[in-house]
Amino acid sequence: MKEVALLDLLKNGVHFGHQKSRRHPKMEPYIFTVRNGVNIINLEKTLEQLNLAREFVCDTVMKGGAVLFVGTKRQAKEIVKKHAKAVGMPFITERWLGGLFTNFSNVSKLQKRLNKLEEQKESGELDKYTKKEKLNFTKEIEKLEKLVGGIKNMSVLPAAVFVVDIKDEKTAVKESIKKKIPLIAITDTNTNPSVINYPIPGNDDATKSLELLTGLIAEAVTEGKNMKEKGAVAEKEADAKEKATSDESSKSGKQAEKK
């Protein structure tokens, strides 16, 4: 993974927190100073935490795990969706379905229903229905797409969850903790970082900050995938080499027997 420079964090406003009056006590260690009543985040701490988070994401994906990207607030939706789709990871940008993790079997039914309807639409199977029925199917697909479109291919619970705003995504955080799924999150100055496994102190409101940090997490996913692929190739080559050595030994043995 490419190194992240402090200047990149600075240029994208990652250091701007909320008003001092809204500061969460547990964010104290990550505050550099206060300017005009606004908390300024210590970017050296941000970089340190960001690198830990990226290493964890890379390792998780390398081992075959998926990272669910979550961001439902207005300025985060498109950013989260874009980066998650680009690296082939599941995402939620509309609303978190209560029980998504704690009652996953029910969510699985919605996923299957959406996939089935989309397959039927693609194959033309829905064309046999009346205009009104087809309209109802279209509405159902649109509704399901909003609910589970970003996770329609997530057949098991993710290995980790990346959240852009833990105050907005309280239910996602609670369910992740309950199911013991590691959390990576941007933690602004008004949040409690102690509930997050890999907190990244930073601005969770400005689009530039969200774009940069989400993109860097997505980059770690790509790195993990590349490492997994290299590992698979190396394993395949090792197996082929072992087989060739075994075949050569067997051949030599047979030749010795003939003599």
- pLDDT above 90: residue 177: yes
**Residue 163 host element (H or E):** strand 160-163
Pairing relationship of beta strands 183-187 and 91-92 according to DSSP bridges: unpaired
pLDDT band at 231 (very low <50, low <70, confident <90, very high): confident
Taking only the tens place, the pLDDT of each residue in 25-59 is: 999 999 999 999 999 999 999 999 999 999 999 99
Residues 6+ apart with CB under 8 A from 218: 69, 83, 84, 86, 87, 89
- pLDDT above 90: residue 241: no
- pLDDT above 90: residue 203: yes
- As a whole number, mean pLDDT of residues 185-209 equals 98
Using alpha carbons, select from 44, 47, 52, 26 the residue that is nearest to residue 188: 26
- Take residue 37 and report the two structure tokens written for it: 């009543």
pLDDT band at 176 (very low <50, low <70, confident <90, very high): very high
Tell me what pLDDT residue 1 has: 81
Taking only the tens place, the pLDDT of each residue in 107-116 is: 999 999 999 9
Lowest mean pLDDT among 77-86, 186-195, 203-212, 238-247: 238-247
Separation of alpha carbons 58 and 138, rounded Å: 38
Separation of alpha carbons 227 and 85, rounded Å: 19
CA angle 54, 180, 213 (to 5 degrees): 25
Residues in the chain: 259
The pTM of this model reads 0.88
CATH of 102-156, one of 1.10.287, 3.30.70, 3.40.50, 1.25.40: 1.10.287
Asked if CATH classification 3.40.50.10490 holds for the domain at 6-97+158-258, the reply, yes or no, is yes
Domain chopping of the chain, boundaries = 6-97+158-258, 102-156
